[in-house]
Amino acid sequence: MKKSAVAVTGAIVVAFLVGIVAPGVFGWSGAGDVATADPPWALPVAAQKAWFPPVSDYETDGETLPDEKFEALMTALDEAMAAEETLIDFDREAEVHLWNFLRRLAPSQVSDEQKERIQARFTALAEAHPGHSRIIEQRGRLIDGYSNPMQSLPSLSNSLLIFGDADQYDTGGDFFRDAQIDDMLARIGAAVNIPETLANFESEAGTHFWRFGNRLQQGRLTPEQVERVGAFYEGLKAEHPDAAEMIDQHMFVATNLIPGNVAPNITGKDTDGVEFSLEEYRGNIVALIFTGQWCGPCRAEYPYHRFVLENYGDRPIVLLGINSDAELETARQAKIDENLPYRTWWDGHSQPDADVVAAEGPIATAWNVTGWPTIYILDDEGVIRYVSRRGGSFIAALDELHTEMRMRNFDSTPRGIVIPASRPQPARKTS
């Protein structure tokens, strides 16, 4: 029995939302850690050790969860929740334990009796730890959903938030300090070497790599810092040769698609079937918008795009879309219905079997886009200046680059005739 895509998506969204409810639970303690290595950062002990049976034991393809595997899982939960390491920092550690327990249920059909026992155990845990009942009850609300088979095992990495929010890494266009790169490399290095990551490296590590690249895109890297990041990925390729292609994709983002680098050229056909390239728009400020009508957050950006089109027509500002709708007609009609006539590459042509979403087209794949929308803002020289600015910040970034461009042009423009401060007086007649 296969779980539905909707169920998978829902599980991931719930896991992500629960993970961010309590920042610090999974190791992030605020913006201060970005700037300093004191206190030292470490993953929860619950993530560092293998507390539960291997995840592969629970990939049953939708069959009923065998009693012996269920009992092993329940025993592991009891031992993990009672461990000294858990009791020292209960909120932080228990959050990881409960999630690792629940996600192992997802691929199987949990019987009614098993579900009742799980619910009773969670109730008992909440009563035993009244000061921490919120976290236990929060995870307990997922029991019903995870008792029915899902297509795949939900990941730990979606909830293990090893970095702070992206805006905490925003350098305002400046270079990262070496201490910040040290901190980020320490976090990603720890996360990709825990047991749960190593058991399913491509899936688990890929999420951590995506967040790492996203944080790097909030600032600029010196050549030496780029070299360090590249060396980190090269080391991982040597350790995980089977995942080399995936690692290369993320390394490309971290070393090429960051502010300060010239954006790679894009060539493809627009929604009218006419081929064009990004380089044709050099000399303009360009917003590259990875979008799709299927994507709610993408549609939420439409009013800001319309504002630019309606008010900045006299400025050298260009919006270019990369559309991920499965049907070309959907992309065409959206431009009409939403009054967004800017030129767009249709990237869905490579997935003829896609139904609604074609988010793995050649352009999106080359740019390793996994979150929609993704927006790159380039200056008139084709240099990436901002990544994922949305809403008012999107417009503010365009305004800033336009002002910068005007001032640069003004400084290089001759000012006209310079009038001397004093002029020679005409000679007077002498008698």
Query: Which tens digits make up the pLDDT trace of 82-123?
Result: 999 999 999 999 999 999 999 999 999 999 999 999 999 999
Which of 219, 391, 388 lies closest to 290 in space, CA to CA? 388
Mean predicted lDDT score pLDDT of the chain: 88
Percent of the chain with pLDDT over 70: 86
pLDDT at 198: 96
pLDDT at 413: 58
Would you state the structure tokens that stand for residue 36, as one six-digit string? 């300093």
Give 349-382 pLDDT, tens digit per residue: 999 999 999 999 999 999 999 889 999 999 999 9
pLDDT at 89: 95
pLDDT at 153: 84
Q: In what order do the strands lie in the sheet with 285-291?
A: 344-346, 317-323, 285-291, 374-378, 384-387
- Measuring CA to CA, how many Å separate 10 from each of 4, 109, 118, 146, 318? 10, 17, 21, 11, 36
| pLDDT of 40 above 80 | no
Q: Worst-scoring range by mean pLDDT, 76-80, 166-170, 394-398?
A: 166-170
Average of pLDDT values for 60-74? Answer: 95
Q: Give the pLDDT band (50/70/90) at residue 342.
A: very high
Sorted by sequence, the CB contacts under 8 Å of residue 42 that are 6+ apart come out as 27, 190
pLDDT at 157: 93
pLDDT at 384: 97
pLDDT at 414: 59
Measure the CA–CA gap between 266 and 276, rounded to whole angstroms: 8
- The larger pLDDT score, comparing residue 290 to residue 15, is at 290
| pLDDT of 11 above 50 | no
pLDDT at 167: 87
| pLDDT of 78 above 80 | yes
- The larger pLDDT score, comparing residue 56 to residue 418, is at 56
Average of pLDDT values for 4-17? Answer: 34
Q: Reply yes or no: is the peptide bond before residue 420 cis, omega within 30 of 0.
A: no
Average of pLDDT values for 153-176? Answer: 90
pLDDT at 238: 97
| pLDDT of 14 above 60 | no
Which of 409, 402, 410 lies closest to 311 in space, CA to CA? 402
Measure the CA–CA gap between 161 and 234, rounded to whole angstroms: 24
DSSP alpha helix (H) spans, 260-327: 296-300, 302-311
Q: Give the pLDDT band (50/70/90) at residue 273.
A: very high
pLDDT at 430: 47
| pLDDT of 38 above 60 | no
pLDDT at 101: 97
Q: Give the pLDDT band (50/70/90) at residue 159.
A: confident
Give 209-218 pLDDT, tens digit per residue: 999 999 999 9
pLDDT at 13: 34
Measure the CA–CA gap between 164 and 24, rounded to whole angstroms: 9
| pLDDT of 32 above 80 | no
pLDDT at 370: 87
Average of pLDDT values for 333-337? Answer: 96
| pLDDT of 28 above 70 | no
Q: Worst-scoring range by mean pLDDT, 87-101, 176-190, 398-412?
A: 398-412
Percent of the chain with pLDDT over 90: 80
Measure the CA–CA gap between 233 and 75, rounded to whole angstroms: 38
Q: Which domains does the chain have, with CATH numbers?
A: 5-146 (no CATH), 166-256 (no CATH), 267-410 (3.40.30.10)
Average of pLDDT values for 27-46? Answer: 59
Sorted by sequence, the CB contacts under 8 Å of residue 87 that are 6+ apart come out as none
pLDDT at 411: 67
